[in-house]
Amino acid sequence: MFYSCSARENRGSCSKHWTNIPEVDAHGYPTQTYLFRHQPLAGHLPDEFEQPSQAQSTRTGSNFRWPFCSSVTREESKPGDTPPPPSNPPNHHEHYKLGPVLGKGRTSRVYDARDIRSHKKVALKIVGGGDHALGVHYANEKRALMAVSSKYIIQLIEFSDSTFFLTCPAHILVLEHCPNGDLFCILEKCGALKEAYARMYARQIFEALEACHSQSIFHRDLKPENILVSEDWTLKLADFGYASFDSRSTSGSVCGTTGYMAPELFTNSLYSPAMCDVWSAAVITFILLTAKPPVRLATSDCSYFRKMKESDWRGFWAAHEREVEVSAGAKQFLQRLLSPVWRPSVHHALQLPWLSETVDPSQSELSSFMRNKIEMPISKDSCTGIGQSILDGHELHAAA
């Protein structure tokens, strides 16, 4: 059963992840409408899923496998053990037509879709059912998006806790559609942004975090790939699967992506999830300004981090400003937030002069600037290898 919701989320991704689909209508969607059938989730999944129907084979190919089957445990089940969806389910829905795959993650797959009731585009985030860890990710994301409301956080439209997708048990989140992909793709295309626009985006990220932290919601995996870009080029914080709902300092459940993780997460010491979010947001702000991360890893093995730890900011900036110059105000802001010892809260970060004492460009100016940047030919000099520089040394750490 789908439940309507007035809270927030989504997952649109770079167009390079999209897959062409045959037999589509004039809007680019498959001519077949797919059902999401409501049924209690099965306790296990078979090794091999039954062959998709002819309509599904047209869209996915006959060798389609549910992406989460390898992570599901079961007890001596055989192909076909999972009961098929009932022919007359208590509730069925023909509300959405599926389009291309927008993105794939460790815990989910996201499809472009269209609500046939309103003809509006949405994103369907499909999280595999029958696996406890995936269920936790789904529950975290749904809880976070229902609890917080901000124009800089993706909107949750509907959800289904107990559904079948292509004969497999699943959880589904119907999310706001963000046609301009994610921030990583934007940075990979554009390189460093002009300071006025980098500051505007940084403020949006911090305001999204302030809305979360005010409700004791802590993202814990903040990175450009988890920040989507809406039609008007506004940022939308997304992917709350690793979210925490406890503001107390803790020494357990370390998670995140290593290049964006705060130094305290590498020491097995007590850490504040709020302060870790601040560090990650500061790293993203640095990338917006320079197209490169401030450190490879926030450990003493990294020479940049050693300079930060020793307060050798002159040497730190001398190394980083070989290609892009950073203003004094931006430097002061980043030095406060990238402190290995103490950093301000999100609320206080928003009061610092670099964010609070300037006027942002208008929305129309932002849209015009971003469209022009995206349409420009890719320049190796302006891009400075951002795709590789951001990813070098960055690994995903699941909650442990």
Whether residue 238 is predicted with pLDDT greater than 70 in this model: the reply is yes
Residue 49 and residue 40: Cα distance in Å, rounded?
A: 18
| pLDDT, tens only, 47-88 | 322 223 333 333 333 222 222 222 222 223 333 333 333 333
Band (pLDDT 50/70/90 cuts) for residue 162 is confident
Whether residue 94 is predicted with pLDDT greater than 70 in this model: the reply is no
Specify the pLDDT at position 276.
95
Residue 219 and residue 225: Cα distance in Å, rounded?
A: 13
Kindly give, in sequence order, each residue whose CB lies less than 8 Å from that of residue 222, ignoring residues fewer than 6 positions away.
205, 209, 237, 256, 260, 277, 280, 281, 284
Q: Mean pLDDT score of the chain, rounded to an integer? A: 76
Of 104, 208, 151, 190, the closest CA to residue 381 belongs to 190
What value does the mean pLDDT take over residues 371-394?
Answer: 55
Of 110, 141, 156, the closest CA to residue 8 belongs to 156
| DSSP per position, 355-388 | HHSSPPPPHHHHHHHHHHHHHSPP-HHHHTTHHH
pLDDT over 90 for what percent of the chain?
52
Specify the pLDDT at position 376.
67
| pLDDT, tens only, 183-230 | 999 999 999 999 999 999 999 999 999 999 999 999 999 999 999 999
235-237 and 227-229 strand pairing: antiparallel
Whether residue 380 is predicted with pLDDT greater than 80 in this model: the reply is no
Q: Is 225 annotated as a binding residue?
A: yes
Of 145, 95, 94, the closest CA to residue 120 belongs to 95
Q: Is 189 annotated as a binding residue?
A: no
Q: Is 226 annotated as a binding residue?
A: yes
Specify the pLDDT at position 40.
28
Q: What share of the chain is helix, strand, coil (3-state, %, to 5)?
A: 35, 20, 45
Band (pLDDT 50/70/90 cuts) for residue 265 is very high
CB 350 within 8 A of CB 210: yes
What value does the mean pLDDT take over residues 223-239?
Answer: 96
Alpha helical stretches, state H, 148-272: 183-190, 195-213
| pLDDT, tens only, 33-42 | 333 333 222 2
Specify the pLDDT at position 397.
60
Lowest mean pLDDT among 162-171, 302-311, 382-391: 382-391
Residue 380 and residue 130: Cα distance in Å, rounded?
A: 45
Q: Which residue has the higher pLDDT, 347 or 105?
A: 347
Q: Which residue has the higher pLDDT, 142 or 129?
A: 142
Q: Is 360 annotated as a binding residue?
A: no
Kindly list the structural domains of the chain, giving each domain's residue range(s) and its CATH number in brackets, ordered by start: 99-176 (3.30.200.20), 181-391 (1.10.510.10)
CB 122 within 8 A of CB 157: yes
Residue 6 and residue 153: Cα distance in Å, rounded?
A: 12
Of 304, 309, 367, 356, the closest CA to residue 333 belongs to 356
Q: Would you name the residues annotated as active-site residues?
A: 221
Instruction: Say what the pTM is.
Output: 0.74
CB 204 within 8 A of CB 211: no
Specify the pLDDT at position 252.
67
Q: Which residue has the tokens 């814990």?
A: 220
Q: Is 81 annotated as a binding residue?
A: no
Q: How far is CA 196 from CA 199, 317, 354, in A?
A: 5, 20, 10
Side chain identity at residue 371, one-letter code: R
CB 329 within 8 A of CB 176: no
Specify the pLDDT at position 394.
55
Residue 292 and residue 208: Cα distance in Å, rounded?
A: 23
Specify the pLDDT at position 202.
98
Q: Which residue has the higher pLDDT, 382 or 298?
A: 298
Band (pLDDT 50/70/90 cuts) for residue 168 is confident
Whether residue 32 is predicted with pLDDT greater than 90 in this model: the reply is no
| pLDDT, tens only, 292-348 | 999 999 999 999 999 999 999 999 999 999 888 999 999 999 999 999 989 999 999
Residue 9 and residue 159: Cα distance in Å, rounded?
A: 11
Q: Which two tokens stand for residue 390?
A: 């951001």
Residue ranges with strand state E in the chain: 3-4, 36-38, 92-93, 96-104, 108-115, 121-128, 156-165, 168-176, 227-229, 235-237, 256-257, 396-397
